[in-house]
Amino acid sequence: MPSESCNVVVLLSGSGSNLQALIDSTRAAPGPARICAVIANRADAYGLQRAQAAGIPTAVLEHPGFEGREAFDAALAELIDGFSPDLVVLAGFMRILSAGFVRHYQGRLLNIHPSLLPKYKGLHTHRRALEAGDAEHGCSVHFVTEELDGGPLVVQAVLPVEPDDTVESLAQRVHHHEHQIYPLAVRWFAEGRLRLGAEGALLDAQPLPACGHLIRS
Helix residue ranges, H only, the chain: 17-28, 46-53, 69-81, 99-104, 125-131, 167-190
Beta-strand relationship, 87-90 and 153-160: unpaired
**Cis peptide leading into 118, omega within 30 of 0?**
yes
**Secondary structure of residue 74 in the 3-state scheme:** helix
Q: Mark whether 113 is an active-site residue.
A: yes
> Rounded to whole angstroms, how far apart are CA atoms 106 and 196?
8
Q: Which helix (H) or strand (E) holds 59?
A: strand 58-60
Give me the catalytic one of 63, 104, 113, 142.
Answer: 113
How many CB atoms are located within 10 Å of the residue 206 CB? Answer: 7
> Rounded to whole angstroms, how far apart are CA atoms 16 and 10?
10
Beta-strand relationship, 200-203 and 194-197: antiparallel
**Secondary structure of residue 144 in the 3-state scheme:** coil
Helix residue ranges, H only, 29-115: 46-53, 69-81, 99-104
Query: Which amino acid appears at position 34 of this protein?
Result: R
Q: Which residues are catalytic?
A: 113
